[in-house]
Amino acid sequence: MMAMVMGMFEARSMRIGQTGGSGLMSREQVVGALGAVSGRHPLGWLAAQAEHGGESSTLAQLTAHLRTRLTAHSAHCATLPELTLAIYLRRPLPEQLRSLVAKHPRWDRERRRAAKLKVLITKEKEKGGEAEAARLQATHDEILTAARVRCEQEIMTTGRCPKCAGTGKMLRKGGDCAVCNGTGKVVPDMGIIERMAGVAAVRAVHQALDELESAATTFKRALRKRLEGEREQ
């Protein structure tokens, strides 16, 4: 909780300490301020937590909020609330994840390793080594599954573009990375929303995202003010 609040502000500028004293705010003061401000800005508190690595219960509450907010547009796309949250957190959408994994250097390496096994499997089958072929096939599948999981986890937890490893530059050729347009980050693809749920849904999603962002900003401003008030007492 403390780490999250410190992450929301520049901790040093807020002078938050674990013990208080010498102009530092104590943990109790921070928790007290948080209790008061979050009660007045529940949505902003949820959104701010989500931005700073919120727990799954926080994300579930936000998804529920978005489900209510986007009911009118969810008829053809049941996962619209989840997709909207992914965009808010600057995470790739599930459809995008598959194509991003394919651009990850690790995936490329492991795919080559698996392809070599595939050659061996064919040879084994040709000479009637069914058992050995089956063993190799299992290894082959394991390699690809493990690589997919690792790549997906990395992309989802870092939000970094896998192609340029977050640098935004093409490693050898130079120039901007074409996958992330030089941002180094995963850029959520709104085209997916449009294809799944239509143009009106895209507008509604943008509105819902703006609301979350402004709620988070209002919450953080109120918390900062409250904490500054605490410090001056």
Asked if 47 interacts with Zn ion (CB under 5 A), we say no
The distance of closest approach from Cβ of residue 169 to Zn ion in the complex, given in angstroms and rounded to an integer, is 8
147/161 with CB nearer Zn ion: 161
In the complex, what is the shortest distance from the CB of residue 125 to Zn ion, in angstroms, rounded to a whole number? 40
CB of 190 to Zn ion, least distance (A): 18
Beta-strand ranges (E) seen in the chain are: 19-21, 24-26
Which window, 30-38, 72-80, 100-108, 164-172, contacts Zn ion (CB under 5 A)? 164-172
Contact letters for Zn ion, residues 169-188 (x by CB under 5 A): --------x-xx--------
Compute CA distances 198 → 4, 25, 81, 187, 201, whole Å.
36, 49, 14, 19, 5
Task: Give 85 or 177: the residue with its C-beta nearer to Zn ion.
Answer: 177
- Pick between residue 86 and residue 180 the one whose CB is nearest to Zn ion: 180
Q: Are residues 184 and 19 in contact, defined by beta-carbon separation less than 8 angstroms? A: no
* Length of the chain as a residue count: 233
At its nearest, how many Å lie between Zn ion and the CB of residue 204? 29
103 near Zn ion (CB under 5 A) = no
Asked if 164 is part of the footprint of Zn ion (rule: CB under 5 A), the reply reads yes
Contacts of 167 (CB under 8 A, 6+ apart): 177, 184
Among 41, 73, 104, 163, binds Zn ion (CB under 5 A): 163
Distance of CA 22 to the CA centre of its chain: 38
Sign of CA dihedral 11, 210, 41, 221: positive
Q: Which two tokens stand for residue 107?
A: 């995936």
Spatial separation of the C-alpha atoms in residues 7 and 179, rounded to whole Å: 29
Binding site for Zn ion (CB under 5 A): 161, 163-164, 177, 179-180
